[in-house]
Structure 1
């Protein structure tokens, strides 16, 4: 008998996740041209929309379902240290923290990219340097995010990547 399933990620969460992921990959490895700039603004806009959805969206998409408080983080880290990670229907506290970090980096990249185009900063090196460092930080965080999703899927025997495709997870973590 299969484990009971629950709808966790609504279509808006899944679409924004995968569209932003595709844009990030394109912008990290593609040419830095007008398409790069446009896609960067689209990614930042989608992040803003997802942040709004964190207040008004479906129950599992809301920040109240997964906000990584210090107590939730501590409890989750202790469960990892014991080798028995706690099951979370929505994001686990580390996943929630990573989502916030990724979104912050994408927004900062959008702002730094915009600043680079302003006449007030013509000839200044720091906006480009900041943008480059933010992109490196985003690249590292994406690698950690994907690696953690794969590792935790194997460890917990719950297909977290599949859940972001289908929207469904096991209700009890089995």
Structure 2
């Protein structure tokens, strides 16, 4: 750990985050192909989501969803603060970022599940499961864009590099 820094995101959180980034990028790159490579990448993404959900119970303080997924009222209060330009800095995820984690993990899980469904004997050859899978993939792209915008805005607003923090795990203390 660097001087004047505190460890916020532990190694498993960071590795699973970047594994998801890589698997989603690879899945997108192979999306025009049906076959084992695209499927295995989807399984890797599903495994990363599953591991992240399990790490919620064993990880450090900032890895636990209860630490950063707040209720509706505090999240809306934080949104009002963002809009007013008075939002406080959080060491871990802020309330909107917490819900973004939930949305992204849920969407990746649904994309992977819907992709798997298209390979089953029951749904093989039908167009609608593929349409659902593709629609969820586009929803994931929109969520990723919103996530990146939130990271950029929060980094700018609080004058800290959140991408570097997700690489190192460390942030300056309050």
Instruction: Say whether the fold is shared (TM-score over 0.5).
Output: yes
Which of 159, 162, 170 lines up with 1:160 in the alignment?
Answer: 162
Q: CA RMSD in A?
A: 1.4
User: Where does residue 10 of structure 1 map in the other structure?
Assistant: 10
Q: Compute the displacement of 1:39 (Å).
A: 0.9
Tell me the distance in 2 between the aligned counterparts of 1:140 and 1:111.
Answer: 19
Q: CA deviation at 1:53?
A: 0.9
Q: Given the two structures, how large is their TM-score scaled by the length of structure 1?
A: 0.92
Q: Out of 77, 80, 102, which is 2:79 matched to?
A: 77
Alignment of 1:107-122 (within 5 A): 107-122=109-124
1:63 corresponds to: 65
| TM-score after normalising by structure 2 | 0.92
Q: Deviations over 1:68-116 (max 9, x none)?
A: 3112202211221221221111110111111111101111111111110
Q: Which runs of 5+ in 2 are unaligned?
A: none
Report if aligned partners of 1:27, 1:36 keep a CA contact under 8 Å in 2: yes
Contact conserved, 1:60 with 1:90, CA < 8 A, in 2?
yes
Unmatched 5+ residue regions in structure 1? Answer: none
Q: 1:20 aligns to what SS in structure 2?
A: helix
| 1:18-167 pair list within 5 angstroms | 18-30=18-30, 31-32=32-33, 33-167=35-169
